[in-house]
Amino acid sequence: MKLGTLTGGTEEAAVTGFAIDHRKVAPGTIFGAFRGARVNGEDFIADAVRSGAVAVVARPEAMVDGAVHIADDEPRAAFARLASRFFGPFPDTAVAVTGTNGKTSTVEMTRQLWRMAGHHAASIGTLGVTTADERVTTGLTTPDVVTFLSNVAGLAREGVTHLAFEASSHGLTQYRTEGLRVAAAAFTNLSRDHLDYHGDMAAYLTAKLRLFSEVLSDDGTAVVWADDQESARVIDLARARGNRLVTVGERGQTLRLVGRDPTLLGQGLVIEAEGASHNVQLPLIGAYQAANALVAAGLVIATGGEVAATLQALARLQPVRGRLERAAIARSGAPVYVDYAHTPDALEAAIAALKPHAAGRLIAVFGAGGDRDQGKREPMGLVAVQRADVVIVTDDNPRGEDPAAIRRDVLAGARGATEIGDRREAIAAAIAGAGPQDIVLIAGKGHEQGQIVGDLVLPFDDVAVARECAG
């Protein structure tokens, strides 16, 4: 493909690929030189040109010599637009999900519902890429835009017609998941997270809202969980843009949740839609799982799904890895659940989901990640001791911080909690101490396969460890 074909100009240079890492530049590459928090890509423009870059996308004031300078005040956005023209075509139907909690479950549930409706569907998110044959490719949690678009194009070549993907606040701010026509965008909820990056909740919300103000197609649909305190902001934005609106939840107008009855292995839902009442037996426990399922249903309906058939398909949803996943049954008979909850709000929701199913005590094991928002640690501890009956504070992913210092921050809110630094020992203690009427919750890492300590990623899977300790 010629450079001029991508830019609308007359440049004859052949384009062979895109890169944002100068070390990956080969002859014919378009190089994206972006200013980051730690590294300034503009410092490597000369290296990229020496390696064969035919064009550089950068700010107007950047110095580019020996290659075409594609100047833009927002070079990440310009780079994404060019890359989308190069990598396409993409799946015909694409939807995106943002929010603090529930993104991973919602995109995976959307994929499952589409599959049940006969579509060749895939999802991209924290779990990786999940394709129509249930094959999961990990390692693409927060891909750069080149990786994202090349993988999405690859899915289209495999016959995928429907794609659901997570749109994180980082990804939206850094234009990592750009270039697709987004037919529907969903908002799940907003609570404290990533303030180490965004600075404050206002900036965090602004990042999320970009999905609806800029990324969602002009003729697309906004799907909103109507029961969150920030939902009105999203609804107002969608109306201002003239987007179609699908709202779900107790305050929802499209899918109104009028009843929820927890059962031993799931919950019965009563949903009003199109003037009719629908009874659904959702095979997942927890109020927030019901919320995720309804948002997923809203996305499917927004992209052409029939309402009654979509709601009845909720009864066939399968659990999502690391999201209130029942990992084991202790010798005492106590079930052990693993969940990705790593914010105060998510931890509270996970405990609330399990509490009605515990005739005895709810035992919670959790920690907090290092090199991340320190302000959420004490609130997590406070939520745990207020909501759970027994609390064990342990290590999560300490990364570059002192694990003991992180635990102290959490314990400042978790008065009376037990401290066991070694995560395996903490899990073992919780399971060993659980009685037949108790439930154990291991929170924070969910699906993750490793524990990050310093610069090392040590093999560690909460589900596998729980099974070992329960055996």
Q: How far apart are CA 381 and CA 414, in angstroms?
A: 4
CB neighbours of 405 closer than 8 A, spacing ≥ 6? none
Upper half-sphere CA count for residue 105 (Cβ side, 13 Å): 30
Q: How far apart are CA 239 and CA 219, in angstroms?
A: 12
The β-bridge relationship of strands 162-166 and 136-137 is unpaired
The response to whether 105 counts as a known ligand-binding position is yes
CB 308 within 8 Å of CB 302? no
The response to whether 101 counts as a known ligand-binding position is yes
The response to whether 331 counts as a known ligand-binding position is no
Size of the chain in residues: 471
Upper half-sphere CA count for residue 429 (Cβ side, 13 Å): 17
The response to whether 396 counts as a known ligand-binding position is yes
Q: How far apart are CA 457 and CA 105, in angstroms?
A: 25
The response to whether 141 counts as a known ligand-binding position is yes
The response to whether 305 counts as a known ligand-binding position is no
Upper half-sphere CA count for residue 305 (Cβ side, 13 Å): 30
CB 377 within 8 Å of CB 341? no
Integer Rg of the chain from CA? 23
The response to whether 102 counts as a known ligand-binding position is yes
The response to whether 174 counts as a known ligand-binding position is yes
Q: How far apart are CA 162 and CA 184, in angstroms?
A: 12
The response to whether 85 counts as a known ligand-binding position is no
The response to whether 448 counts as a known ligand-binding position is yes
The response to whether 397 counts as a known ligand-binding position is yes
> Quick one: 51 exposed, middle or buried, by C-beta within 10 A (0-12, 13-18, 19+)?
middle
The response to whether 24 counts as a known ligand-binding position is no
CB 148 within 8 Å of CB 59? no
Q: Which two tokens stand for residue 104?
A: 């991973």
The response to whether 243 counts as a known ligand-binding position is no
Residue 386 neighbours by CB distance under 10 Å? 12
Instruction: Tell me the binding residues for ATP.
Output: 99-105
Instruction: Tell me the binding residues.
Output: 99-105, 141-142, 168, 174, 176, 372, 396-399, 444, 448
Instruction: Tell me the binding residues for meso-2,6-diaminopimelate.
Output: 372, 396-399, 444, 448
